[in-house]
Amino acid sequence: MLTWIANRWITILASMASFAALAFVMWDSSPERKYRKLAIPPKVVISYLMNERGSGFVLTNASAGPAVLYWTTVKVDGRVMPTWIDVSAALGFQTTPEFSSIVPADMLKPESEQQIFWVDGDALDKAWQGKDSRVEIETCYCSIFEECWVTTRLKPDPQPINSCLEKPDGYLRSSPQEPVS
């Protein structure tokens, strides 16, 4: 009698698990979900921006889908620099310009931009002339559907990647000496 009850419960639980799996597969393969997945992938672009307020590097999400940011690296002449102070030193600046920087946020909203390194006025533009090609910035981001890409400043076409979870050595982070805004 006891095994008969256990067998019934096992059958009932297995049936419930099967129905749950079937419902998930139907939801995941729905035309609407596929459409949203294809229609709103994020596209993050890294650029050097100069305007009347100043100049610096920005991340821009140039699409209608949000981008989940995982890590950013900055290299000067192929060497990874973990902070913007290290970047300034590697570029040979006599004094580090007064700047504001942030480690990129976790989420970049659709059609928005985020300054990751910024100097007010024209000081950076004057110091930067001829040196910007030595700086490579790379970031890894994913869609809300967990599709991931890596993009770089000098080669802006995003390359698909399996995951952004593993951060590379030397990823960009704040330094205690940096003013953070």
- With H, G, I as helix, E, B as strand and everything else as coil, classify residue 59: strand
Is 160's pLDDT higher than 90?
yes
Percent of the chain at pLDDT above 70? 81
pLDDT tens digits, one per residue of 72-129: 999 999 999 998 889 888 988 877 777 777 666 688 889 999 888 888 887 776 777 7
Residue 99: in which H helix or E strand, if any?
A: none
5-15 CB burial, b ≥16 within 10 A, e <16: eeeeeeeeeee
Q: State which H helix or E strand residue 42 sits in.
A: none
Q: Where are the alpha helices (DSSP H) in 44-132?
A: 84-90, 123-128
pLDDT digits (tens, 9 = 90+) for 4-32: 676 777 777 777 877 777 667 666 666 65
Residue 130: left if φ>0, alpha if ψ -120 to 50, beta else—which one? left
Q: How far apart are CA 14 and CA 137, in angstroms?
A: 50
> What pTM value is reported for the model?
0.73
User: Residue 158 pLDDT > 90, yes or no?
Assistant: yes
User: Both tokens of residue 160?
Assistant: 């698909």
Beta bridge partners of 45: 60
